[in-house]
Amino acid sequence: MAKNTLDFEKPIIDLEKKIEEMKAYEDNLDIKDEISKLEQKVDQLKKNVYENLTRWQRVQLARHPERPYTLDYIYMMTKDFVELHGDRLFKDDKAIVSGFAEIDEYKVMIIGHQKGRDTKSNLYRNFGMPNPEGYRKALRMMKLAEKFNRPVITFLDTPGAFPGLEAEERGQAEAIAKNLLEMSRLKVPIIVVIIGEGASGGALGIGVGDRILMLQNTWYSVIAPESCSSILWRSWEYKEQAAEALKLTAEDLLQQKIIDRIVPEPLGGAHKNHDEIAKTLKAILKEELANLIKVKPEKLIQNRLEKFGKMGVYEE
Amino acid sequence: MGWFKRSKQNISPDSQKREIPDGQWVKCPECDEIIHVKQHELNLWVCHKCDYHFRIGSDAYISFLFDDGSFKEYDKKMKSGDPLEFTDTKKYKDRINETIKKSGMYDAVRTGIGKINDVKVSFGCMDFKFIGGSMGSVVGEKLARAIDRAYEQKIPMVIISQSGGARMMEGALSLMQMAKTSSRLARLADANLPYISIMTDPTTGGTTASYAMLGDINIAEPKALIGFAGPRVIKETIGKDLPQGFQRSEFLLEKGFVDLVVHRKELRHKISQLIKYMHQ
């Protein structure tokens, strides 16, 4: 636990630890008072910290290694999940997982980036950075869903598409581009949820849909703040400023009319209470699914075209 | 340009001038041949000795691709709205205004309709000189409208890309232009109208990962840099030098991602030829 504590979380966690220790001696009346005072203090502190997070702190929360990942949400929200593998062209990309699942009465196709939690699983998952075969696998699953009339839900959580030599050889750009085109005309509903990091084309490659939801402590932008800092400030040191300038939080994106809805997280972030965030997200997804399955395919596609058509700010 | 760091600090405009008197001559960066500007223009800005394709702007492409006087530009003055009020070392707004003054363009793409050998086509051409040919809201919207014109008038679409990728200063809105343009191309494709994508040096990032790679026919100019990630990033990732010719047009042809590598002098003819088979 301690190794994953963020700087701004530390005072809260220290205080909580102290309360925990004191509770061992609770029989003593004086201490009881002291405990409730400290508990009030910790509540206040949490409120102060989490209501005033900077954009960079949100980025840090979005990357928190204890946050639920795609497979965690699948296990917490769905039953009867059947994971399906491979793009039928080259291989099975472990950075993207996919399969059929049931969310109560809804039978859906779920596709998401998958990160690992430790060095070993991160190497296995390539840190959630897909190669072209990942995007092609995702497209294959979407086509499968379309064929059998199942809505698609995608979970976005990636530091970016993998910038490797072989990824270029096998057409990383073509794979992403094709997904954008095909997702825009898929005949079944698509719900996109940003559950962690939404880094650029690597995220958008499975991110075109009818409803775009964003968890409260996540980020979505054209570039990661560190890379933006390195290009525009010519130094890695300006990541905080870059995060501010990029306006990349859920609230920012709602304001820019890119996303439709923010999914509220438990106080302190999704990693503080997996069950709670899964419950919240499940309820919201069911609500969205109920609305979308009523829409006819032609209308769905027309709406999608108009939705993305409206994005952008320019003067004439 | 102000966009990339000059790698050799000792090269100043002054010292260049002394080498090439009166700006009447240019030097080929590939073979060092000295070429007279008149001759250079007649040769479509390709080195007559080694075939090096100089980077040229949208006005130049329009001048030799279209039948004389047939090209009509649209949305010429569409301008970025600075949605994020973005500031890095400089205000984005200032950067835009300075670039407009310097380049005479309002953003990194020119769009319109013209005739190629008497066939009407909807056309878009990017310009690297405008903030690295970066794609923001204006590029996305202008191309979307150009694709719509092709769709409505049932004519072919041709886009020439020349871009470092999405424009950072418009954040996620830039990213969404990839989805916007691609969704319009999907509609065009469903109407069985041809789209020819031409990639020139350089075409990278979000531009490649959207409309540039989505042509029914993908064409590349010789030796253009085309890729998703930039070579420097890839080099850092793998910790090795990149092989000779990596991410160049000929490499993409070999790997199966472009249909043709076409010499600039052949471009107009090749477009015509392809349209004949896919349209009319």
Q: Report the CATH number at residue B198.
A: 3.90.226.10
The distance of A2 to chain B (nearest Cα, Å) reads 30
pLDDT at site B175: 98
Residue B14 lies in a domain: no
**Per-residue model confidence (pLDDT) at position A36:** 87
> Does pLDDT of A278 surpass 90?
yes
Domain final residue pick, B54, B78, B96:
B54
Span B181-200, average pLDDT: 98
- Asked whether residue B217 is assigned to any structural domain, the reply reads yes
Predicted confidence band of residue A29 (pLDDT cuts 50, 70, 90): low
Q: Assess whether B73 and B49 both reside in one domain.
A: no
**Residue B3, pLDDT score:** 65
Name the band, by pLDDT with cuts 50, 70 and 90, for residue A97. Answer: very high
Average pLDDT over residues B144-154: 98
**For residue range B52-86, what is the model confidence (pLDDT) as tens digits?**
999 999 999 999 999 999 999 999 999 999 999 99
Domain that holds residue B211: 56-278
CATH placement of domain A57-309: 3.90.226.10
Nearest to B88 among A163, A233, A311 (CB): A233
Which of A227-241, A283-297, B7-21 is the most confident on average? A283-297
Query: Min CA distance, A194 vs chain B (Å)?
Result: 13
Does B3 map to a domain? no
Q: Do B96 and B216 belong to one domain?
A: yes
Per the structure, how many domains does chain B have? 2
Are B97 and B36 contained in the same domain?
Answer: no
- For A80-110, the DSSP string reads EEEE----SSS---TTEEEEEEEETTEEEEE
> Which chain A residue has its CA at the smallest distance from B205's CA?
A173
Minimum distance, in Å, between the CA of residue B274 and any CA atom of chain A: 21
- Quick one: B270 exposed, middle or buried, by C-beta within 10 A (0-12, 13-18, 19+)? middle
Cβ neighbours of A194 in B, within 8 Å: none
Partners of residue B172 in chain A, C-beta under 8 Å? 220-222, 246-248, 252-253, 256, 258
Q: Are residues B45 and B113 in the same domain?
A: no
Whether residue A56 has pLDDT greater than 60: yes
Q: Stretch A103-122: mean pLDDT, rounded? A: 97
Are B83 and A165 an interchain contact pair (Cβ–Cβ within 8 Å)?
no
A2 has a pLDDT exceeding 60: no
Compute the nearest-CA separation of A129 from chain B (Å): 12
- Predicted local distance difference test score (pLDDT) of residue B4: 63
**pLDDT of the residue at A31:** 82
Are B138 and A161 in contact (CB < 8 Å)? no
User: Which run of H or E residues covers position B120?
Assistant: strand B119-126
Distance of CA A295 to the CA centre of its chain: 26
CA distance A206 to chain B (A): 11
- The verdict on ipTM greater than 0.85 is yes
Are A232 and B84 an interchain contact pair (Cβ–Cβ within 8 Å)? no
Q: Average per-residue pLDDT in chain A?
A: 95
Confidence of residue B184 (pLDDT cuts 50, 70, 90): very high
Q: Return the residue in B131, B135, B175, B217 with the most chain A beta carbons within 10 A, the one to mutate for interface testing.
A: B175
Q: What is the mean pLDDT of chain B?
A: 93
Report percent pLDDT > 70 for chain A: 98
**The pLDDT value given to residue B196:** 98
Interface probe with B: pick from A59, A146, A180, A206, most Cβ of B within 10 Å: A180
Position B5 scores a pLDDT of: 62
Indicate whether B95 and B43 sit together in one domain: no
Across the interface, whether the CB atoms of A311 and B233 are under 8 A apart is answered: no
If you average pLDDT over residues B112-138, what whole number do you get? 98
Question: Do B41 and B133 reside in the same domain of the chain?
Answer: no
Query: Which whole number is the average pLDDT over A136-156?
Result: 98
Q: Where are the alpha helices (DSSP H) in chain B?
A: 13-19, 37-42, 58-65, 92-103, 137-153, 171-190, 205-208, 231-238, 249-255, 267-278
How many residue pairs bridge chain A and chain B with CB atoms within 8 Å of each other?
Answer: 200
Q: What is the pLDDT confidence band of residue B190, given thresholds at 50, 70 and 90?
A: very high
Q: A307 vs chain B: nearest CA distance in angstroms?
A: 9
Q: For the stretch B61-99, what's the b/e string if a residue is b when 16 or more beta carbons lie within 10 angstroms of its beta carbon?
A: bbeebbeeeebeebbeebebbbbbebbbeeebeebbeeb
pLDDT at A209: 98
CB contact under 8 A, A185 and B186: yes
**B11: in domain:** no
- Does the distance separating the beta carbons of A312 and B257 come in below 8 Å? no
pLDDT of residue B7: 57
Give the pLDDT confidence of B216-236 residue by residue, as tens digits.
999 999 999 999 999 999 999
Pairing of strands B79-80, B72-74: unpaired
| B93 neighbourhood in chain A, CB within 8 Å | none
Residue of A nearest to B145 (CA): A309
B199 burial via Cβ count (<10 Å: 0-12, 13-18, 19+): buried
Residues of A in contact with B180 (CB under 8 A): 308-309, 311-312
Interface test with A, best of B183, B184, B216, B255 (most A CBs within 10 A): B183
Answer yes or no: is pLDDT of A89 > 70: yes
Contact flag A170-B80 (C-beta cutoff 8 Å): no
> pLDDT at position A33, please?
84
The reply to whether B99 and B194 lie within a common domain is: yes
B38 and B162 part of one domain: no
Cβ-based neighbour number of residue A86 at 10 Å: 15
- Give which of A90, A181, A248 to mutate to test B binding, by max B Cβ within 10 Å: A181
The pLDDT, as a whole number, for residue A207 is: 98
Both B38 and B144 in a single domain?
A: no
Instruction: Say if residue B61 is in the same domain as residue B31.
Output: no
Based on the fold, state whether residues B50 and B85 are members of the same structural domain.
no
Indicate if the pLDDT at residue B131 is higher than 90: yes
Among B10, B37, B54, where does a domain finish? B54
Same structural domain, B145 and B44? no
Binary contact (A177, B213; C-beta < 8 A): yes
Distances (CA, A) of B25 to A76, B28, B35, B47, B56: 69, 10, 5, 12, 16
